[in-house]
Copies of this chain bind each other. A is one copy, B any other.
């Protein structure tokens, strides 16, 4: 079993089938050694599991879990784009994390850690990334969190 798949197994993380985009774009595009992953929302088993702004509709803890699910979905997309071989990932380069937020909510970094921590759990130092985390007035399908990603990959 390849290294990263073994790590995921050890962590008890099961990557889903790569989620289908909800529109006319594609889940991932590679340009040279950069792989761009489209914004992912917290779909699990076909349902959007956390919706509405934080904290009035979704708690901080739930939003952190939502960010983790988005990150898992992003990895599932990356796996698909890399012919199933996540060991071709050299570095997680950047996460963009959008958090549906009440105007008074300012803990977007804590929410985003749900995604960031997953990357380090899975990839170790290669999972450390640059990040922008911001609040959004509303997100696609009412999602509480959306996460996009750029990875550096081996040919």
Please indicate the chain B residues that have their CB under 8 angstroms from the CB of A18 in the complex. Answer: none
Chain A residues 89-136 with CB under 8 Å of chain B are 91-96, 98, 101-110, 112-113, 116-117, 120, 128-136
Whether the Cβ atoms of A33 and B34 lie closer than 8 Å is: no
17 CB-based A-B contacts, threshold 8 Å? A23-B113, A24-B120, A25-B95, A25-B129, A27-B130, A31-B93, A31-B150, A32-B152, A36-B130, A39-B133, A101-B138, A106-B139, A106-B142, A107-B140, A108-B138, A136-B136, A137-B137
Please indicate the chain B residues that have their CB under 8 angstroms from the CB of A24 in the complex. Answer: 113, 116-117, 120
A positions within 8 Å CB-CB of B: 21-29, 31-34, 36-39, 53, 91-96, 98, 101-110, 112-113, 116-117, 120, 128-143, 146, 148, 150, 152
CB distance from A132 to the nearest CB of B (A): 4
Whether the Cβ atoms of B146 and A132 lie closer than 8 Å is: yes
Please indicate the chain B residues that have their CB under 8 angstroms from the CB of A94 in the complex. Answer: 29, 36
Interface centre among A129, A131, A138 (most CB of B within 10 A): A138
Whether the Cβ atoms of A38 and B131 lie closer than 8 Å is: yes
- A20–B125 Cα distance when bound, in Å, is 17
Whether the Cβ atoms of B106 and A138 lie closer than 8 Å is: yes
Q: Of the candidates B28, B91, B132, B143, which one forms a contact with A148 in the assembled complex, judged by CB atoms under 8 Å apart?
A: B132
Whether the Cβ atoms of A134 and B112 lie closer than 8 Å is: no
